[in-house]
Amino acid sequence: MENIDLIVNQLPAPTWNRLRMNESRVAVAVPTDECEPKVALQGSVCLNKQQIPRIPGKNCCGCAQMATCPVNGIDFASMPTGMGTEMAQLGEGKRIHLVADAGKSTAAVTLRYDDEQKCYNRLEIEAKPGSELTVFMTYISTASAKGMAAVQTKIAAAKDAKVKLVQVQLLGREFLHLNDVGADLAADARFEVLQLQLGGAQIYNGVRTELTGDGSSFDAAIAYYGRNAQRIDMNFIANHYGKKTDCNMTADGVLQQGAFKIYRGTIDFKNGSAGATGDEKETVLLLSDDVVNQSIPLILCSEEDVQGNHGASIGKLDEDLLFYMMSRGFSESDAIDMMAKAKIEGICRRIEDEETVQLVERYLEGVVKE
């Protein structure tokens, strides 16, 4: 089967080529299978699986008129994403479209992959003014399965809309996972993304948010547990256009057993984003000597009246902490397992769905005991 060579996760401002951080190249299979997502909805959100013709300038109707709604004014196709424009080479993919009306609602989207499946799915989320939507996305397969799980998620959040996207990746040990997210936020809209990257062999993950409207905010938190020579390749971008916009990005992870990780995180204060604030934090716990950790946190700024901060801490487990735990009767390996799990649990605490949390816990129990 022929592969497609993609350049993904490009840094918005490149640096020395010899560091090999400017972008990543990945050879992916042509998607051949249809992975039918299981979707469960609650509250004022509805699903349109049809290909909706895009007629610029026309607004999409809400859930009540969905059956007869022929038009959509949001240009999801040209909405930029974290992994970049070359994802378009994967084709149309299996597409679903969620529309959330004002009020609270939740959507659970489960993508369960069989062995050898190579799928590309697209999810478009349209959050209407005043909507509060939480979307749980779970990618799952058997532990030994291999294949490709490519998923692109695009979010258009209207004024005052709040979208919380929870993505939990529990794929088999030989899976290639492409997780590509793009969001555009109108005034006072909020987008929160929580990600747990736990399975798979090669994980390429990009999240890009355009803080277009004044007062919009973006909060991203990712935790990962890299092991078994995994490659975890990330690109987070927050583009501040609106005034008094705010972003917060945290990445927290553990690396061992030959894992490779690169975290690219960019806060870009565009001219005109007066009063904007941005924070980025990264902590990486290195548990074996054969790992590679690359981090490149960018702050780009063409506006005076902004505040941007970045902090990174990379290293082994604090020896005093380890000593303390061992003095309380834990073995060294138990103490290390506990600290590694704590990184994941930090995200789990923010997931307001017991079923998803339990799934993660069960998965993690298996991993830690491997």
Partner 1 sequence: MEEKTFVEDIDRSLYDFRNEDKDAYRIEEGLTRDIVEQISREKHDPEWMREFRLKSLEIYNKTPMVQWGPSIEGLNMDNIVTYVRPNTKMQGKWEDVPDDIKDTFERLGIPQAEQTSLAGVGAQYDSELVYHNVRKEVEEQGVVYTDMESALNGPYAEMVKEHFMKLVPPTDHKFAALHGAVWSGGSFVYVPKGVKVAIPLQSYFRLNAKGAGQFEHTLIIVDEGADLHFIEGCSAPKYNVANLHAGCVELFIAKNAKLRYSTIENWSKNMYNLNTKRALVAEGGTIEWVSGSFGSHVSYLYPMSVLNGEGAHSEFTGVTFAGHGQNLDTGCKVVHNAPHTTSLVNTRSISKSGGISTFRSSVVVTNKAKHAKSSVSCQSLMLDNISRSDTIPAIDVRTADADIGHEAKIGRISDDAVFYLMSRGISEEEARAMIVSGFADNVSKELPLEYAVEMNNLIRLEMQGSIG
Among residues 7, 88, 229, 312, which is the contact residue for partner 1, using CB under 8 A? 312
Query: Total number of residues binding partner 1 (CB under 8 A)?
Result: 42
**Applying CB under 8 A, does 322 fall inside the site for partner 1?**
no
Quick one: 152 or 250, whose CB is closer to partner 1? Answer: 250
**269-288 mask for partner 1 (x: CB under 8 A)?**
x-x--x---------x-xxx
Helix (H) or strand (E) holding 247, with range, is: strand 246-255
Q: How far apart are CA 201 and CA 197, in angstroms?
A: 11
Cβ partners under 8 Å of residue 58, min gap 6: 71, 72, 73
Stretch that binds partner 1, among 143-151, 187-195, 312-320, 323-331 (CB under 8 A): 312-320
Q: How far apart, in whole angstroms, are the C-alpha atoms of residue 215 and residue 148?
A: 38
- Dihedral (C-alpha) 7, 9, 11, 15: value to the nearest 10 degrees? -60
- For position 250 contacting partner 1 by CB under 8 A, the verdict is no
7 binds partner 1 (CB under 8 A): no
What is the separation, in whole angstroms, between the first and last Cα of the chain? 33
Distance CA 279, CA 274 (A): 16
Q: Is 297 in the site for partner 1 (CB under 8 A)?
A: yes
**Sole window of 23-31, 153-161, 183-191, 313-321 interacting with partner 1 (rule: CB under 8 A):** 313-321
What is d(CA 56, CA 299) in angstroms, rounded to the nearest whole number?
A: 34
- From the list 56-64, 68-76, 128-136, 293-301, the region that binds partner 1 by CB under 8 A is 293-301
Q: Classify burial at 7, counting beta carbons within 10 Å of its beta carbon; exposed 0-12, middle 13-18, buried 19 or more.
A: middle
Among 7, 88, 296, 368, which residue sits at the site for partner 1 (rule: CB under 8 A)? 296
Task: Give the distance from CA 340 to its chain's centroid.
Answer: 20
Region near partner 1 per CB under 8 A, out of 131-139, 149-157, 192-200, 299-307:
299-307
If binding is defined by CB under 8 A, does position 293 make contact with partner 1? yes
Ramachandran angles phi, psi of 336, nearest 5°: -65, -45
Q: Considering only 18-26, 34-42, 132-140, 164-172, which stretch makes contact with partner 1 by CB under 8 A?
A: 18-26
Write the binding mask 324 to 363 for partner 1: x where contact by CB under 8 A, - elsewhere.
----------------------------------------
Output the CA angle 86-7-1, nearest 5 degrees: 80
Of 258, 295, 345, 357, the one binding partner 1 by CB under 8 A: 295
Cα separation, 71 vs 148, whole angstroms: 32
Q: Going by DSSP bridges, is the β-strand pair 118-127/38-48 parallel, antiparallel, or unpaired? A: unpaired
Is residue 321 part of the contact set for partner 1 (CB under 8 A)?
no
Q: Confirm or reject binding of residue 310 to partner 1 (CB under 8 A).
A: yes
Give residues in contact with partner 1 (CB under 8 A).
13-17, 19, 21-22, 269, 271, 274, 284, 286-289, 291-316
